[in-house]
Amino acid sequence: MATLIDMPKLSDTMTVGTLVKWLKNEGDPVASGDMIAEVETDKATMEVECFDDGVLIRQYCGVGDEVAVGGAIAAVGEAGEEAPAAETNAPATATPESEPSPVAEAPTPAPAAPGPAPEVVPEPVVVTTSTTGSRIKASPLAKKIAAEKGIDLDTIHGSGPSGRIVKADVENAQASVATPAVAQAVSPEPVEPAATLKAMEIPVSNMRKSIGKALVASKTQAPHFYLQIEVNGAPLAALRKELNSKLASLPPEHGGTKFSVNDLTLKAAAEAVCRVPAINRSWEGETIQQHPNVHLAFGVAIEDGLVTPVIRSAETKGLREIGAEAKALIKKARGKKLTPNEMSGSTLTVTNLGMFGISDFYGIINPNNAAILSIGATIKKPVVNENDEIVIGQVMKIGLSGDHRTIDGAVGAQYLQALKEILESPAIMLV
């Protein structure tokens, strides 16, 4: 008997997921533990696991479709078995013409799973405005594909009901819109760059919606205050150079590794909490929670936005362990493999834009942390040394955004002082 695979709840705040990629096609054999699809949640793009053996006999949704948590996305059964009817529980959105929002276009069944032809119903319609001011009716999936390919919906004739543009119309238009672009590139007529630009709307992903919602809440509910301190970055740079010169050439089985500035600042941030534990608190409404362990989050930029994986109990881990764990989490983040548990429960966050040449900035606090550290680039600039001489120094600026409900400026200042002492005498992190 066929088994339905539902849209799983992959985070505490998730209500819907967007199907972004099928990893298995209809008719493919599947086994328990296989990943069958990639789903975009409000936090990241994650894979959906199959828990049965058999054949994927039906896909109930297409790429770009939103499905509510608990709604069916696929059915697994025996080859030739008829797929059961199922509800995707797709969120209903009324069109401007007050038409009912239909279910997305049903996928064509694979030859390995024969059965009655599925009823093809129109894709949901979205009305947008063209570059000429006229109204265009297009399905969300068609609109998404057009935005990704840079195709002007103005140039497409819709084949759907009432002339609405569907997925097939956009896909068929790709070849035709590519030809004029090539011809224009070799045209002897000079073309102003601005003339080739097209206004377009970029669909907001679930991740960007989640980022927007969380950070607006943080910025409006948590009264931010800001502090900054300058650190002599030369000792840290010297330690990193020495460690990497000895370790980078060794094979991993002999202790070989390579440390980044981010590895060193993460370790220093955790060490500084041991000196000023009051920074490791969170606002809980009626109480302030003092955390015994430093669950250290750090920002990782990915294509869809920003994720903050967490190193648990960072204060108990050495530099090598923190570096290895950070690299593993970064790799998982960029491969869209992070689990909800790996992105939740932080007590302090570090964000680093130094690799982009940004010298100083202030992050928005990660709810419900008391603070977020902002690490800037190490910049060579004139400084006055202990002999009152002007010399070339290596200056790193570190910003702190604090939640004034949880901590005061004095706590933030004490923490930055402790962090400065550690970074300027970084060998103590190795003891």
Instruction: Give the domain CATH number at 181.
Output: 4.10.320.10
Q: Check whether residue 227 and residue 371 sit in a common domain.
A: yes
pLDDT at 316 over 70: yes
pLDDT of residue 204: 82
pLDDT of residue 111: 38
Q: Check whether residue 257 and residue 335 sit in a common domain.
A: yes
pLDDT (tens digit, 9 = 90+) per residue, 222-245?
A: 999 999 999 999 999 999 999 999
DSSP string, 352-389: E-GGGT-----PPP-TTBSEEEEEEEEEEEEEE-TTS-
Higher pLDDT, 187 or 329: 329
Catalytic residue numbers, as ranges: 404
Q: Check whether residue 243 and residue 267 sit in a common domain.
A: yes
pLDDT at 106 over 50: no
Does the pTM exceed 0.85?
A: no
Averaged pLDDT of the chain: 81
Quick one: 39 exposed, middle or buried, by C-beta within 10 A (0-12, 13-18, 19+)?
buried
Q: Check whether residue 144 and residue 292 sit in a common domain.
A: no
Which of 179-183, 207-211, 301-305, 421-425 has the weakest average pLDDT?
A: 179-183
What is the mean predicted confidence (pLDDT) over 392-411? 96
Cα gap 347→362, rounded to integer Å: 18
Q: Check whether residue 259 and residue 333 sit in a common domain.
A: yes
pLDDT (tens digit, 9 = 90+) per residue, 376-393?
A: 999 999 999 889 999 999
Q: Check whether residue 395 and residue 376 sit in a common domain.
A: yes
pLDDT at 115 over 70: no
Q: Check whether residue 183 and residue 281 sit in a common domain.
A: no
Q: Check whether residue 310 and residue 168 sit in a common domain.
A: no
Site of tokens 């070799």: 186
Q: What is the CATH number of the domain that holds 422?
A: 3.30.559.10
Q: Length of the chain, please?
A: 431
pLDDT (tens digit, 9 = 90+) per residue, 127-178?
A: 454 444 455 667 667 777 777 777 777 777 776 655 667 777 777 775 444 3
Q: What angle do CA 194, 200, 202 make, to 5 degrees?
A: 130
Confidence of residue 424 (pLDDT cuts 50, 70, 90): very high
Total domain count, the chain = 3
Angle between helices 167-185 and 140-149 (to 10 degrees): 20
* Residue 335 CB contacts under 8 Å (≥ 6 apart), including other chains: none
pLDDT (tens digit, 9 = 90+) per residue, 174-218?
A: 544 433 333 333 334 444 555 566 788 888 877 788 888 888 989
pLDDT (tens digit, 9 = 90+) per residue, 339-384?
A: 888 988 999 999 999 999 999 999 999 988 999 999 999 999 999 9
Confidence of residue 263 (pLDDT cuts 50, 70, 90): very high
| Residue 251: domain span | 221-430
Which of 43-57, 67-81, 148-162, 279-293 has the weakest average pLDDT?
A: 148-162
pLDDT of residue 135: 55
Residue 202 lies in a domain: no
